[in-house]
Amino acid sequence: MRRVLILCLAAILPQCLGCYGWTTENDARMLVEPASVGGQLALKFQGREQRLIAKGQVSDAGSVTVEDGTTISYWVILHRVPNPVATARGTGRGTVVLLHPLMMSKSWFFSLGQKLADNGWDVVLPDLRGHGESTGKYITWGAREKGDIKAVMDSLLARKIVSNQIYVCGASLGGCVAVQYAAYDSRCRGCLALCPPASFRQIAPRILPFVPQGELLDARIKFAGEIAGFDPDDASAIKAAGKLRCPLILVHGQWDAIVPYQHSEAIFGAAHQPKQLILQPWKNHATVQIGQDDWLVEQIESLSQMGRG
């Protein structure tokens, strides 16, 4: 219940703040400056990583500094049930990268990570830039984040920490990043995206609902890109979907009022086979992500089979 309340407040707050007709600069900053306090508090509730490592809940923790100087923090949970086929190589069934929603942190998918490890998967839990223990003031809706995740995986694979069979799963902002990362890193073998925004341009009206679409909104989007140092047109899961070389599963609640399910439909339409779109009746933005750990493990299992044959 606490996670549901945190997510709902995090999703609604920006829209409430956007009602007051702030200046172009203030509105632009709202698009790329995450209020990351909720995710940082969740990390404190989770406990210090040294304690988590001592308890065997986390196997490794570290960070990678990317080209623009941003430091990306991550946890690793290694598989606990060896895959008989992979035992000789000393690896799990594969590596699942779990990407959290906007304003959250790597603790968001901690319980899912535990279940995946218990099912033989290696798990990587990064903090997206501007979130948790990662540095950076701005988010770029996937334009830079896809490179951040690749840098984390480059480091872990170079050290032979995790399996080189990579899958990625993300929710909301993390889902948008997941699709773009999967298209960017040729090593990625499958992508599971939960309620992902289709692109930065298409989610901006949801964050600034009282800014008229057209020149006024475009000006704010352009300014946001200048502030955060990215091209708004580069932050698109739709464009990335057309470049995917791996299977894609999209999951969206039909009652999602934060990111309407039409966003997943647009991504699905741009992607090549193999692909699957699962629209969940009665589910909203929060309930697609929360309380479905066992089912999500099943979807990742399904994803790993889609590219075979």
pLDDT in tens, 10-23: 444 444 444 434 68
Distance between CA atoms of 192 and 180, rounded to whole angstroms?
A: 12
Tokens 């830039």 belong to residue: 129
Percentages of the chain per state (helix, strand, coil), in multiples of 5 = 45, 15, 40
In whole angstroms, give the CA distance from residue 257 to residue 241: 23
Q: Are 102 and 30 in contact (CB under 8 A)?
A: no
Question: What is the Cα–Cα distance from 160 to 179, expressed in whole angstroms?
Answer: 25
Check whether 5 has a pLDDT greater than 70: no
Over 80: is that where the pLDDT of 35 sits? yes
For residue 139, report the phi and psi dihedrals to the nearest 5 degrees: -105, 160
Can you state the angle between helices 293-306 and 110-118, rounded to 10 degrees? Answer: 60
Confidence of residue 82 (pLDDT cuts 50, 70, 90): low
What DSSP string runs through 39-103?
Answer: HHHHHHHH--HHHHHHTTS-SEEEEEE-TTS-EEEEEEE--SS--TTTGGGT--S-EEEEE--TT
Q: ∠198-71-207 over CA atoms, to 5°? A: 30
The predicted model gives 197-209 an average pLDDT of 97
User: Cβ(100)–Cβ(109) under 8 Å?
Assistant: yes
What three-state secondary structure class fits 174? helix
Mean pLDDT for 121-132 is 97
Task: State which fold the 2-306 domain adopts.
Answer: Rossmann fold (3.40.50)
Backbone angles phi, psi at 137, to 5 degrees: -95, -25
- Percent of all residues in the chain with a pLDDT value above 90, rounded to a whole number: 79
Model confidence at 1, in pLDDT bands (50, 70, 90)?
very low
| Sheet architecture: strand order including 166-171 | 60-65, 71-77, 122-126, 95-99, 166-171, 188-194, 248-253, 275-280
How far is CA 152 from each of CA 5, 63, 70, 253, 309, rounded to the nearest angstrom? 30, 8, 12, 30, 30
Q: Could you report the per-residue pLDDT of 90-120, keeping only the tens digit for each?
A: 457 899 999 999 999 999 999 999 999 999 9
SS (H, E, C) 230-251: CCHHHCEHHHHHCCCCCCEEEE
d(CA 287, CA 69): 35
